[in-house]
Structure 1
Amino acid sequence: MTAPASTDVLTSNGYRLDSSPRRLGRLEPVRDSERHDRAALRHRLARDGYLFLPGFLDRAEILEFRRHYFAALEGTGVTEPGSDPRLGRAARGGLDRARMRRVLFGDIVPGAEYEALCRHPRIAGFYRWLLDTEEVHLHRRKLIRHIVPGESGVGTATQAHYDLVYLREGTDKVLSSWIPLGDCPIERGPLIYLEGSHHRVLAEEAAGTLRRPAASITADLPALAEEYDARWLVTGFRAGDMMVHGAHIVHASLDNVDPEGLVRLSTDIRYQSATEVIDPRWQNHWDTNDGL
């Protein structure tokens, strides 16, 4: 697991995180002894709100999809012309945003390669096993994002939120997978989690006392950690790792300040038991204009 070597300079949307031990901690991976213990994983998920599964997917397969993604976007100005698409080295300007959107939403998102990744037998089989159900449902609205290094300010990194606010018309038992599509050390801006926040969110949901039912809670992660009296949990990821989290835990992402100039690429997909209520709004391919 990658160590947070420079935790004194972690930022999200330009806000500098408190690096003291009372406000910053480490995501804990699932132990090998628990990997095939369904009861242990369910207990961990209820206790921690997440499962960190290093090496869950084949690294070579993930890197091949990274190559496919950036090769498809060649010529849009996302990556450096002539560079290896597996690297995803950011270009230094000249982004053709309209062309990028046409390729992303017209080719990549509805494409067979992305669908095969999201329906990978390893992922679907894991959710059937974990949820103890014969049939699982993958929400068709699946998000894939690339974050170039050097951007800062509100809106560049994922703001603090929990997933249920986006999925009100379905079950609260939906589970999300966050999958880094390539190595994602801490400086490349991975997802981070607010420790134990799902317990407070669950209580407030049950009591109907949530003060901020909006999709995004805040971009000010240091202030939110103070409000919750909790730590932001961080780690570096490698291609093949997978995070699983429930619908109530608060999470966000760090800024991409990668010194190598590499783009962070990741996907968010959501599975649930097919017997639970399915949010009908999430059954179309993702588009930034879909209102969700």
Structure 2
Amino acid sequence: MAQSVTQTAQHTFRQGYLVNDGILESSMIGKLKQSYPSEPIEDLRARYEKDGYLFMKGLLPRSDVLGCREAYFRFLSPSGVLQPNSAAVDGIFDPDNKSVNYPSIGAGPFGREQINPGSFASLAEKAHIEDFYLEFSRHPALRYFVSGLKGWGNNTKLLPRSLLRNNTPHNNAIGVHYDQSFLRYGEPTSVTAWVPIGDISRQGGGLIYLEGSDTLGRTLEDAFNKKAREGGMSEEERINAFNKNMMSNGFLELGPIKFLQDNGGGRWLLTEYEAGDIVFHKPRMVRICETEMKPC
């Protein structure tokens, strides 16, 4: 869940950042490059192809993002997730809650005891089909920008697949992954839009990208496909993100520090986000989320 602030604070990397398997030290981190809607589309397209992502500042109206955020937390409120007497749009986690009862959506499978009717997990799943979210996920600014970025024009299609992730305090965050393992039914030509639904500080559980990892993602996916063929998997098994060659949750690794150690090092790129920002990325860009350290 994102911290609600009014301005983006600019910090130097003087401290580590908490992830599933420890602290990211300064040598392991860098900063996402900012891009702006006012830049020529040719420059943005070249940057996307080179870096594998575009971190676009202020592409969506802030009021639209915060409207979705408020509706989301109002929808979750009956589960008891929010601090009493707090504003829904602030999304402040009740510190008296047991985190195990409020699992991070997208970080792994739920236990049966976590998905009872009216529970946080059941409401968070149901939110995917609520009008406030469906309307937001179809925001015309998203389609318009991608159609220009890729040159697809009116052929730009919105895949009927999205994930309304959240990070809750003291729970595991999203592990190391890339999208193509979940999209193997199609060619690796899709563009993912990651939209922070609110302001997120650098320690607020935001998305982090492995620098230059589109190439690594291609290598890993090729290796998975080769192993699947050599192991005699059927085509249906091969394209399954949860086949026996993958982790049970489809991740590449739970811990980003171990992933760096196993794959030749590198830097995780992080930043603070403001409502209205979007990151567009290629389907084999490797990424994680920080562990949520804030109460909201």
Indicate how the Cα distance of structure 1 residues 251 and 170 shifts in structure 2: closer, same or farther if over 3 A, else same: same
Tell me the CA shift for residue 164 of structure 1: 0.7
Q: 1:161 maps to what in 2?
A: 177
Indicate how the Cα distance of structure 1 residues 33 and 112 shifts in structure 2: closer, same or farther if over 3 A, else same: closer
> Is it true that 1:127 corresponds to 2:146 in the alignment?
yes
Instruction: Tell me whether 125-134 or 171-180 shows the greater mean CA deviation.
Output: 125-134
- Aligned counterparts of 1:234 and 1:190: Cα–Cα separation in 2: 8
1:208-227 alignment runs, 5 A limit: 214=247, 215-226=250-261, 227=263
1:48-197 alignment runs, 5 A limit: 48-91=51-94, 92-93=96-97, 95=101, 97=114, 98=116, 99=118, 100-106=120-126, 108-133=127-152, 134-149=154-169, 151-152=170-171, 156-197=172-213
String of CA shifts for 1:48-103, please: whole Å, max 9, x gaps. Answer: 11100011111111111111011111221111122100100101216584313443
* SS of structure 2 residue aligned to 1:218: coil
Tell me the CA shift for residue 252 of structure 1: 0.3
> Is it true that 1:10 corresponds to 2:17 in the alignment?
yes
Tell me the CA shift for residue 31 of structure 1: 4.9
* SS of structure 2 residue aligned to 1:192: strand
- Aligned counterparts of 1:3 and 1:9: Cα–Cα separation in 2: 16
* Higher relative strand content: 1
* SS of structure 1 residue aligned to 2:164: strand
* SS of structure 2 residue aligned to 1:65: helix
**TM-score scaled by structure 1?**
0.78
Tell me the CA shift for residue 146 of structure 1: 2.2
- Aligned counterparts of 1:219 and 1:148: Cα–Cα separation in 2: 16
- Give the number of aligned pairs: 251
* Higher relative helix content: 2
- Aligned counterparts of 1:31 and 1:210: Cα–Cα separation in 2: 41
The one-letter code matched in structure 2 to 1:113 is F
- Aligned counterparts of 1:11 and 1:28: Cα–Cα separation in 2: 21
Q: 1:24 maps to what in 2?
A: 29
- Aligned counterparts of 1:7 and 1:69: Cα–Cα separation in 2: 34
Which runs of no fewer than 5 residues in structure 1 stay unpaired? 263-292
> Is it true that 1:234 corresponds to 2:253 in the alignment?
no
- Aligned counterparts of 1:93 and 1:31: Cα–Cα separation in 2: 39
- Aligned counterparts of 1:204 and 1:73: Cα–Cα separation in 2: 37
Indicate how the Cα distance of structure 1 residues 138 and 89 shifts in structure 2: closer, same or farther if over 3 A, else same: same
- Aligned counterparts of 1:203 and 1:222: Cα–Cα separation in 2: 19
CA root-mean-square deviation: 2.3
- Aligned counterparts of 2:226 and 2:195: Cα–Cα separation in 1: 32
* SS of structure 2 residue aligned to 1:165: helix
String of CA shifts for 1:31-62, please: whole Å, max 9, x gaps. Answer: 5663x32x322221121111000111111111
Q: Do 2:36 and 2:57's aligned partners in 1 also have CA atoms closer than 8 Å?
A: no
Indicate how the Cα distance of structure 1 residues 5 and 76 shifts in structure 2: closer, same or farther if over 3 A, else same: farther
Which runs of no fewer than 5 residues in structure 2 stay unpaired? 1-7, 103-113, 229-244
Q: 1:280 maps to what in 2?
A: none
